[in-house]
Amino acid sequence: DAKTTQPPSMDCAEGRAANLPCNHSTISGNEYVYWYRQIHSQGPQYIIHGLKNNETNEMASLIITEDRKSSTLILPHATLRDTAVYYCIVVTQGGSEKLVFGKGTKLTVNP
Amino acid sequence: NAGVTQTPKFQVLKTGQSMTLQCAQDMNHEYMSWYRQDPGMGLRLIHYSVGAGITDQGEVPNGYNVSRSTTEDFPLRLLSAAPSQTSVYFCASNSWQGPGELFFGEGSRLTVL
């Protein structure tokens, strides 16, 4: 079973920030939070990951709560090309050959 | 680098036929895995491998066979295809150095009639 819970769908207006939540209330101290997205029927694409500090890269920002039980992926200026399914997964450092994905959140960016 | 390469991209089989989906990676990754994705569903892990000669079952292994004779290749075999195996199959690889950063192939769309 997936260790994360995400809303099945969300909508966002083009140019606005998209904030995608993820609950991982049973996360362990040595588990990272990873985010992926899957555009249409392509293979999923890695976005960002973090342990306990907030992270930012050219694609997105990741905010992890202090208790690490939830996180938010932020796409600061969503475009139509960001319409995709977004997956949040937890990964154990050193034991991550077996990664389990849930159903993710379908983000629709509207013009 | 080509990354992860899957062949074929499309395949139609009849019930009972066998076939092999090929997967190759050129990143020298230790880990490789196969997922299937059905309409409206997330990715489900079929089999995975932590290195040459070592494989293990994922969530939905029945009806599939794998082997890992080299670091680069991880073929998925359907022994006797069934309509329930109609799906899109993704191969992925990752390294212990970046354990959660999976690199996926473009997918293989399989239809079993």
Q: Side chain identity at B21, as an amino acid letter?
A: L
With beta carbons under 8 A apart, name residues in chain A contacting B43: 44, 87, 101
Average pLDDT rounded to a whole number, residues B61-72: 96
> Between residues A51 and A41, which one has the greater pLDDT?
A51
User: How far apart are the CA of A88 and the nearest CA of chain B, in angstroms?
Assistant: 11
CA B15/CA B112 separation, integer angstroms: 6
Matching residue, tokens 């154990």: A92
CB atoms inside a 10 Å sphere around CB A30: 11
pLDDT of B50 over the 60 cut: yes
Task: Give pLDDT, residue A16.
Answer: 96
Residue B94 backbone class (left: φ over 0; alpha: ψ -120 to 50; beta: rest): beta
Contact partners, residue B39, CB within 8 Å, separation at least 6: none
pLDDT of A55 over the 90 cut: yes
pLDDT of B12 over the 80 cut: yes
| Residue to test with chain A: of B43, B57, B60, B68, most A Cβ within 10 A | B43
B96 close contact with A: CB closer than 8 A: yes
Average pLDDT rounded to a whole number, residues A29-45: 90
With beta carbons under 8 A apart, name residues in chain A contacting B104: 43-45
Note the pLDDT tens digit of each residue in B19-42: 999 999 999 999 999 999 998 778
CA B76/CA A7 separation, integer angstroms: 32
DSSP calls for chain B: ---EEEE-SEEEE-TT--EEEEEEESS--SEEEEEEE-TT--EEEEEEEEETTEEEE-S--TTEEE--SSSSB--EEESS--GGG-EEEEEEEEETTEEEEEEE---EEEEE-
CB contact at 8 A, B7 and B105 = no
pLDDT of A1 over the 60 cut: no
Pairing assessment for the beta strands B43-51 and B31-37 based on DSSP bridges = antiparallel
Task: Give pLDDT, residue A47.
Answer: 95
**Least CB-CB distance to B99: which of A91, A102, A103?**
A91
pLDDT of A3 over the 70 cut: yes
Tokens of A44: 């999923």
pLDDT band at A95 (very low <50, low <70, confident <90, very high): low
CA B43/CA B91 separation, integer angstroms: 11
